[in-house]
Amino acid sequence: MRALFPASFDPVTNGHMDILNRVSVVFDSVVAGVVDNARAGNLFATQERVDLLQSAVVSLDNVEVLPYTGLTVDFARQVKASVLVRGLRAVSDFEYEFALSAMNRRLHPDIDTMFFLSAPEHSFVSSSLIREIGALGRSVEPFVPANVNEAICKKFAQSADRR
């Protein structure tokens, strides 16, 4: 069975990695879908996010990293995934994810959604918080894979050099 784990991965966090590690054990094949949303004001360009995630999942043989645009449920069908995987950090995530799951089910009834609860140590980590902490000059090392930490440090050092 093939699953799709979609996210912006801007940047990849240890929470994303925890879910990907667990999902890779449950499913035969996993696509980590990196959404290309130009309107989001991303820290990293889509290809940078794909490259960072590919480096982070190199030890997960059954995980493939692909960029996509458009509706996630349409991309799931395109890559022949029968399950969408979504991570839940807190109860507050559930309402949004529940509505999204219902809409996806309405659009493509053959694609299910499976929720994975974040490990407690990652339940407060989000990509937006990582971007904010990094932009303010604080270390994000405990919250992201090593390659991502290095990329964030470089990105914000370049920004500081331009000021």
Place of tokens 């509706």: 71
Please check whether residue 38 lies inside any domain of the structure: yes
Please check whether residue 129 lies inside any domain of the structure: no
| pLDDT tens across the length of the chain (163 residues) | 999 999 999 999 999 999 999 999 999 999 999 999 867 689 999 999 999 999 999 999 999 999 999 999 999 999 999 999 999 988 878 989 999 999 999 999 999 999 999 999 999 999 999 999 999 989 999 999 999 999 999 998 866 555 4
73 contact partners, CB below 8 Å, separation of at least 6: 84, 104, 107, 108, 111
Please check whether residue 31 lies inside any domain of the structure: yes
Query: Bridge partners of 116?
Result: 87
Please check whether residue 107 lies inside any domain of the structure: yes
| HSE of 133, CA atoms in CB hemisphere, 13 A | 16
Give 137: exposed, middle or buried? Use CB within 10 Å, 0-12, 13-18, 19+. Answer: exposed
Please check whether residue 152 lies inside any domain of the structure: no
Please check whether residue 115 lies inside any domain of the structure: yes
Tell me the H-state helices in the chain. Answer: 14-26, 46-56, 72-78, 91-107, 127-135, 146-162
Please check whether residue 10 lies inside any domain of the structure: yes
> Where residue 78 sits, what CATH number does that domain have?
3.40.50.620
46 contact partners, CB below 8 Å, separation of at least 6: 34, 36, 67
| pTM of the complete model beyond 0.85 | yes
Please check whether residue 162 lies inside any domain of the structure: no
Domains held by the chain: number = 1
Segments forming the whole domain that contains residue 88: 2-123
